[in-house]
Chain A
Amino acid sequence: MKNTLRQIFHSPKFMTGFVIFVVILLTLFFYPLFNPGNPLEMIGVGTFAKPGTYVSLYDALNTSRETLRLSDADDNRLAKQLKAEDRVAMLEWFNAMGIAVDFDISDTDALLKLWDDNYDPATKPKGMTMAKRNYYKRLNNALLQLKAADEIVLADVNAETKALEETGKVNKTDYVNVGQVANVKLLPLGTDNFGRDVLKELVSATGTSIIIGLIAGAVATIIGLTFGLLAGYLGGIADDLIMFITNVFTVIPGFVLLILISYSIGQDQRGASVVALVIGLTSWTWTARSVRSQVISLRNRDHVNLSKLSGHSLFRIIMTDILPYIASYVVMAFILQVSSGILSEAQLSLLGLGPKTTEVPTLGLMMNWAMLYSAHTNGSWWAYFPVILTITLISFSLNLMNTGLDQVFNPTLRD
């Protein structure tokens, strides 16, 4: 027993999977301690805020300022303002005018210099529409404003005169220390369509999904194990009957069954645990089949015969003489069932048949929301890519652990 455990923890495959899974579990445990709060709290008003550090503008204005004269500040400001599509449009204008651009358009200095030298709102490049020409005019005005503006005047309404009065100015050279700004919010994965912190949601969703996987896996393993043990050990009519039921379930595609059951339960009744139960109830068949075949090979062994001759009951023989011998196999089947349970939940939720959307986030629900709000077409990768990565990592680690165990328990499979 000890030796087997040592072998398991020396298997590189098992250890890789185990470490990944433990890291995920530790994150699930520790992240909420450092970042408490409701994961479904809508902190953003808009949809899909980009990942990054958000600094409160209001607080920044009220923070004591330092003056820093940085030579490249203007260039940086312009470069950040000039969007990629504007640069491409400028290149198109140059092309239309037959001006050679022999530098990279990400070089803001050179691009603006060429633009200043050549752009004339009066010119009409051949074949350019009015709308396009107006776009260039707006672009030019914006650039001019950016360069001309020197300072921003802060004004407030005077309570007595009801007139705007200047209360302060923000110069281009004014800086505040981020550490001194009262409100700075780090959103490592931005916000989702409802303005919720994606990372916090992801951690909570991963926890829920793993629990769904565990419940589904446990239900499937218990049903499969019970049926497999009974069919294999009893044989005869019991075997025929159980295998008939198993075959019926096997023939109907599990996923279709899952969709139908989930649909008929209805949105209101579908909590996370109900979905887990439904997944478990539809995925036990292959556990039953494989446990049965293992039990059939065990039931005629001498130690089982000896146990029968000792007058042990059917239950005791199954529990002490059969089950321990297939325990390693059952553990492996359970791990695979957990993995497939998590995937099934993701599939169901993606179709909108997962747990109801108001209570807990799950990995599948996050994908569903991202898809409904077109995160994949508007470039909001942070709303779905981390979710896909998490699902992949979980099932990868579980499958790796399973393969590692398989190699320890079935040495002939070792490569």
Chain B
Amino acid sequence: MKNEAFKDRPLCLSGKGVTKVFGYGNKANTAVDHVDFEFHEGELVSIVGESGSGKTTLSKMLLGLLSVTEGEIFFQGKPRDISNRKKKKEYWQGIQAIFQDPFSSFNVFNKIDTVLLDCINMRGGKHLPKEKKIEMMTEACSFVNLKFAELTNKYPFELSGGQMQRLMIARIFLLKPKILLADEPTSMIDACSRATILDMLLQLRDEIGMTIIFITHDIGLAYYISDSVYIMEHGKFVESGSADDVILNPKAAYTKRLISDVPKIHEPWDLSTVG
């Protein structure tokens, strides 16, 4: 089941029997149902599933934005403790996220400088001289091919979707977290920008050696970038393992269906298999 290539690396994030139930009584809705996972340092893991399979709920639990109904999440081998704000802040220095919709990810009332300065402050750079801060922000922007001089005093909504998502990566570049949770970061972006953004993510991973948890509905994309793949259906992991194992030798029927749904160029797309 596990990706053998990473088994010797230390555990970065893992979970046992993680469950999320919304509502209670008759209306109880189990979004994530007793899932176990082990993400190692430097691994790029994809969690693949269709809409409503519980991917985003799981990601919010991993980020500590949603409480866990049952089960436990381990951060760097130890049970995760986010019981108060100080501990949460510490945890969030280790795990950060990129969200799906760049247009709603930024507060439209804050300037771009504020967004980037927040990251410097969070890394303890609050008392650095102004020049140093500007230098850091310029470096982060140039990493994602943006010019800080042009962005300063601008608002996020003045940028294009691709630029915003790149700004998001600049944020990660400044924060240098242990784990990056990317929740469909490219699904709202055109194909050209998508390649650039994926490229930047991979480059960033190599540079600071972080674990990337990539959440997507696109199994083709997952195969292209991932080391390991977890397939999620109705709140459960139906299959997991190295990308090659899962995609090339799918065992679960759901995985097979997901793979058959990927359209292939040069071949007529058989719509009868869809859905």
Q: Which residues of A contact B (CB under 8 A)?
A: 301-303, 305-314, 320-321, 324-325
Contact = CB atoms under 8 A, between A and B. Distances in A.
A238 to B, nearest CB: 15
B85 A302 contact: no
A310 B119 contact: yes
Given A303-B106, A309-B96, A312-B118, 16 more contacts: A302-B99, A302-B100, A303-B108, A305-B65, A305-B97, A306-B105, A306-B107, A307-B107, A308-B92, A309-B65, A310-B92, A310-B118, A311-B88, A311-B92, A311-B93, A320-B107
B273 interface: no
A306 B65 contact: no
A314 B99 CA distance: 21
Which of A301, A305, A314, A324 has the most chain B CB atoms inside 10 A of its CB?
A305
A307 B171 CA distance: 12
A303 B104 contact: yes
B202 interface: no
B106 A306 contact: yes
Interface string B88-132: 110011001101110011111110000000110010000000000
Contacts of B108: 303
Nearest to A310: B118
Contacts of A321: 107
Contacts of B118: 310, 312
Contacts of B85: 313-314
A301 B119 contact: no
Nearest to B99: A302
A324 B107 CA distance: 9
Contacts of A302: 99-101, 104-105
16 contacts: A302-B99, A302-B100, A302-B101, A302-B104, A302-B105, A303-B107, A305-B60, A305-B65, A306-B99, A307-B107, A310-B118, A310-B119, A311-B93, A312-B118, A321-B107, A324-B107
Nearest to B109: A324
Interface residues of B, number: 23
Nearest to A309: B92
B122 A310 contact: yes
Nearest to A307: B107
A309 B107 contact: no
Contact of B104 (A301, A307, A324): A301
B205 to A, nearest CB: 19
A261 B85 CA distance: 41
A320 B101 contact: no
A302 B101 CA distance: 8
Contacts of A320: 107, 109-110
Interface string B162-175: 00000000000000
Which of A309, A312, A325 has the most chain B CB atoms inside 10 A of its CB?
A309
B222 interface: no
Contacts of B105: 302-303, 306
Contact of A308 (B65, B100, B106): B65
Contacts of B97: 305-306, 309
B168 to A, nearest CB: 9
B63 interface: yes
> Which 5 residue pairs are nearest across A and B when measured between Cβ atoms?
A311-B89, A302-B99, A324-B109, A302-B105, A303-B107
B148 to A, nearest CB: 19
B213 to A, nearest CB: 14
Contacts of A325: 109
Nearest to A311: B89
B106 A311 contact: no
A313 B89 CA distance: 10
A310 B175 CA distance: 9
A321 B96 CA distance: 18
A306 to B, nearest CB: 6
Interface in B12-69: 60, 63, 65
A108 B105 CA distance: 84
Interface in B158-193: none
Contacts of A306: 97, 99, 105-107
B49 to A, nearest CB: 20
Contacts of A314: 85
A309 B110 CA distance: 16
Contacts of B122: 310-311
